[in-house]
């Protein structure tokens, strides 16, 4: 279907900048706003910027005509674009799953499902089939347990209806029993903070999806928590691509990380470019940081090549990124030199927000990076910007020790005990006293 072009006004559309700031504000498209193309645009004059559906552009300035903006393409071309062909990229929202209770047993579920009113339900992880789930529903004073099968990146109960995630499945059976003993009516909420789900439609609506045809995959750069990180090329530009392993629970954590990134934009944070959904695979595409992680950069170059100015810049860049995260009420939870990347211009950028939504880690689970985590976070799962500050203190020690592993002479099992008794690492060789004072201030117990 042919889209209607907006009415065009004559000549110098880039005049009267100040007058049009109000128009820009009304749309929410300030200079620097990132937008994505809803449709392809071929243009009709030399001053137009030609683009394809899905292309990413940045607003440069408003024009006299409120239907047109001057914009810059990701390939650095500039020109005029029609407002009704683009949309502002927006934050991807997560769906709360208060009815999801995680790893509880069949007996525990039946205890929770009281009083046994028809349609009372909860969802738990399957104990007999790891990776699957169980929908527990009350009916005629009994509890029916339906296995939710994970198959080809989808969830199903009857292998006829398939759903992208648990939220979609529950929504379906809340509207219609569709083969279950009864329609889902009322849930038993889990105590504490709920789990979340994300689906591909939310990313598409918010303008974050990328076509696989626009992405070329190359060599493996490293291994991530959920799968490989590979070098890619997105429309002529190098990018980093995280490739998801085939795992249902990992898919939701993977997408939760991407959803956090859709709400964040800062010079010192690694920027999300988009997400590819090519079932059964999912790809997160981010900007490529050519010089790798900060810890590898420090270790490979050492004192001969990493200057004092470099060290200060890396520290201040990381601090600026973390300050922005705090302003956005995001807790990183895994700040370390391995999770800071260095660009071709030697700019340090914080990455990996995979733990930012995860609430279920504990000390016994072994997932914590103990040497970087504040004692109160280890003992009581109390994560906050204060615990991120503790991690920043450890990161400063990494920078000034040129990438050494923290607490070099203390066994891992004894680190927390020593720290809680007041032990703090000595200043690395050559570390300025002012920097060491900042480290000690950061490494303060929160009680």
**Antiparallel, parallel or unpaired: β 186-187 and 120-125:** parallel
Q: Of 364, 368, 390, 365, whose CA–CA distance to 446 is shortest?
A: 390
Both tokens of 440, joined, read 């000690």
DSSP run (H or E) holding 435: helix 433-442
In angstroms, what CA-CA distances link 438 with 314, 385, 390, 407? 15, 16, 11, 18
Gap between the Cα atoms of 226 and 250, Å rounded: 6
3-class DSSP state of 17 = helix
Calpha distance 360→300 (Å, rounded): 35
Neighbours of 73 (CB within 10 A): 18
CB contact at 8 A, 262 and 272: yes
- How buried is 1 (Cβ within 10 angstroms: 0-12 exposed, 13-18 middle, 19+ buried)? exposed
Residue 185, classed as helix, strand or coil, is: coil
What are the beta bridge partners of residue 51? 41
Residues classed as catalytic? 334
Bind-site residues: 242
374: CB partners within 8 A, 6+ apart: 382, 386, 387, 390, 391, 445, 446
- CA gap 426, 40 in Å, rounded: 59
What CA–CA distance (Å, rounded) separates 90 from 35? 9
Q: How many residues does the chain have?
A: 447
53 with 3: CB under 8 angstroms?
Answer: no
Known binding residues for ATP are 242
Among 296, 380, 295, 368, smallest CA distance to 333 is for 368
Q: How far apart are the first and last CA of the chain?
A: 63
CA atoms within 13 A on the CB side of 6: 16
- Residue 388, C-beta contacts closer than 8 angstroms, at least 6 positions apart: 322, 325, 326, 331, 332, 333, 335
């Amino acid at each position: 279907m042919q889209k209607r072009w907006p009415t065009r006004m004559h000549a110098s559309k880039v005049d009267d900048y100040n007058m049009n700031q109000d128009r820009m504000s009304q749309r929410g498209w300030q200079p620097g706003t990132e937008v994505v193309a809803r449709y392809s645009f071929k243009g009709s004059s030399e001053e137009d910027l030609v683009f394809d559906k899905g292309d990413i552009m940045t607003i440069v300035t408003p024009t006299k005509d409120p239907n047109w903006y001057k914009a810059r393409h990701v390939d650095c071309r500039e020109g005029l674009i029609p407002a009704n062909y683009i949309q502002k990229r927006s934050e991807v929202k997560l769906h709360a799953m208060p009815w999801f209770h995680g790893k509880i047993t069949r007996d525990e579920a039946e205890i929770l499902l009281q009083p046994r009113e028809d349609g009372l339900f909860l969802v738990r992880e399957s104990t007999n089939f790891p990776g699957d789930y169980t929908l527990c529903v009350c009916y005629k004073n009994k509890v029916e347990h339906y296995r939710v099968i994970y198959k080809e990146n989808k969830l199903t109960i009857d292998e006829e209806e398939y759903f992208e995630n648990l939220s979609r499945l529950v929504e379906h059976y809340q509207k219609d029993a569709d083969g279950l003993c009864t329609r889902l009516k009322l849930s038993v909420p889990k105590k504490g903070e709920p789990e979340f789900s994300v689906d591909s439609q939310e990313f598409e609506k918010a303008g974050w999806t990328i076509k696989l045809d626009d992405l070329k995959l190359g060599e493996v750069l490293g291994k991530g928590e959920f799968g490989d990180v590979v070098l890619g090329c997105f429309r002529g530009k190098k990018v980093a691509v995280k490739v998801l392993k085939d795992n249902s629970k990992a898919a939701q954590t993977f997408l939760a990380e991407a959803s956090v990134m859709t709400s964040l934009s800062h010079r010192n944070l690694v920027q999300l470019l988009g997400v590819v959904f090519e079932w059964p695979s999912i790809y997160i595409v981010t900007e490529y940081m050519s010089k790798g992680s900060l810890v590898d950069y420090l270790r490979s170059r050492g004192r001969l090549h990493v200057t004092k100015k470099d060290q200060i810049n890396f520290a201040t860049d990381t601090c600026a990124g973390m300050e922005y995260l705090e302003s956005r009420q995001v807790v990183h939870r895994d700040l370390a030199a391995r999770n800071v990347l260095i660009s071709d211009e030697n700019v340090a950028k914080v990455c990996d927000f995979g733990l930012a939504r995860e609430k279920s880690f504990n000390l016994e689970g072994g997932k914590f990076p103990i040497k970087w985590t504040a004692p109160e976070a280890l003992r009581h799962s109390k994560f906050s910007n204060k615990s991120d500050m503790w991690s920043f203190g450890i990161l400063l020690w990494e920078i000034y020790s040129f990438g050494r592993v923290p607490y070099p002479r203390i066994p891992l099992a004894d680190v927390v005990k020593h720290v809680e008794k007041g032990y703090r690492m000595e200043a690395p060789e050559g570390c300025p006293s002012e920097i060491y004072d900042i480290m000690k201030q950061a490494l303060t117990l929160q009680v």
